[in-house]
Amino acid sequence: MPLIRLALASLANRRASALIVLLVIALSSALLLTVERVRTETRLSFANTVSGTDLLVGARAGSINLLLYAVFRIGHATHNIRWDSYQQIAALPQVKWAIPLSLGDSHRGYPVLGTSADYFTHYRYGERQALQLREGRPFADLYDVVLGAEVARALGYRLGQRLVLAHGTGRISLTRHDDKPFRVSGILAPTGTPVDRTLHISLAGMQALHIDWKQGVPVRGRARLDAEQARQQDLTPQAITAVLLGLEQRVATFAVQRAINDYRGEPLLAVLPGVALQELWSLMASAEQALLLVSACVVLVGLLGMLTALLASLGERRREMAILRSVGARPWQIAALLLAETGALTLAGLLGGLGLLYLTLLAGRGWLLSEYGLHLPLSAPSAHEWQLLGATLLAGLLLGLLPAWRAYRQSLVDGLSIRL
């Protein structure tokens, strides 16, 4: 269209100021889209972490805290569950399977999970997808370890390689289990969940690491047991951190939950993972809205910068508009020209912001996955992201009405004035 070509030519004539405005809009819209993408993918990642688990059982504390440390490996358990309590829960007639979880150790900042072979059989993520081994097999020996995909990739481990675990969950630990090294027996396929960032060992292996510990510290001297001596000991766990339960029938969920919450042997808490996740989102809702609001304000500031630049240029462009009037342009066409320039700047800025979003994802997705276990795919914009882009474009056009109206009035006055 002639009007669009004229608008683009006018912007090209003022390319320095136009590029600055375009860059501001691109950066602000990229920030808005990045916040939205991180927010939605974080929710999706959390929701996909555990699937098909009817109840999550831990020591009595907050349901959100239980969800965070047992499923997402964030935080610490306040208390453990006695092994005999776990056995009684697993023996309930409504329980189909039970997966014990034992946490507390780490390796170079990655959490170590002690569990049973049922973990690889019954654990589900995403759309009830089972865990798959990319290489090797589940732990068969006492000192076997199965690595999550991200652990193997980040640390460069291969099958058969030996590694040493450390006590505690910090990135730097002063107490290492050097006397009981583990061997990599398997590497899991990527899941996009905290499983990728976890080292899995058997419950007996976890017990062997601490068989010669007293009151949270290793014993000294002749009382200390090496790896082979630990094999000869009774390695039945004394306590675990949490339990994942699958039931025969989901209608029994609330009955089993009530029975566990009323358990008299020790104070326990059973929660539905989906309900606890909703509590977590409700707790974070205000922070999410605040981030989106700040991002929207940044976009608005960028659009106001464009408006300021267009208004400031009107006085300098009176000669341009007079020439357009002299060749037959109507005042409304002058206004339409300004509106087209506003739309072109806003649209170009949004496309630039979309490009910056994907460049940011390409550059930072590996770091986010390794540091926070957050997988951000390079997927097409979602429906909500398109809505945000459309709303920003509409806001830019609405703001462009002001310079368009000013140009209309100015060209109309200039056309009726007699200049000597």
Task: Specify the DSSP class assigned to residue 72.
Answer: S
**CA end-to-end span of the chain, whole Å?**
36
H/E segment holding residue 3: helix 2-13
pLDDT tens digits, 358-404:
888 888 777 766 666 566 777 788 888 888 889 888 988 888 788 77
DSSP 8-state class, residue 108: T
pLDDT band at 318 (very low <50, low <70, confident <90, very high): low
E strands of 116-227, at which residues? 124-125, 129-130, 133-136, 144-147, 162-163, 166-167, 182-188, 199-202, 213-214, 217-218
Count of positions (residues) in the chain: 420
Mean pLDDT of 5-29: 75
The DSSP symbol for 176 reads B
pLDDT for res 101? 95
CA nearest 324: which of 403, 419, 414?
Answer: 414
Question: Angle at CA 80, nearest 5°, toward 179 and 240?
Answer: 55
- Rounded Cα distance between 365 and 412, Å, is 54
SS3 105: strand
- C-alpha distances out from residue 8 to 3, 15, 244, Å: 9, 10, 61
Radius of gyration of the chain (CA): 31
pTM of the model: 0.73
Residue ranges in 163-317 assigned as alpha helix (H) = 203-209, 227-231, 253-261, 273-314
- pLDDT computed for residue 416 by the predictor: 46
Mean pLDDT of the chain, nearest integer: 83
Binned at pLDDT 50, 70 and 90, residue 12 comes out as low
Average pLDDT over residues 269-288: 84
Q: State the CB neighbour count (10 A cutoff) for residue 201.
A: 24
Express each pLDDT in 129-152 by its tens digit: 899 999 999 988 999 999 999 899
Q: Write down the pLDDT at residue 16.
A: 72
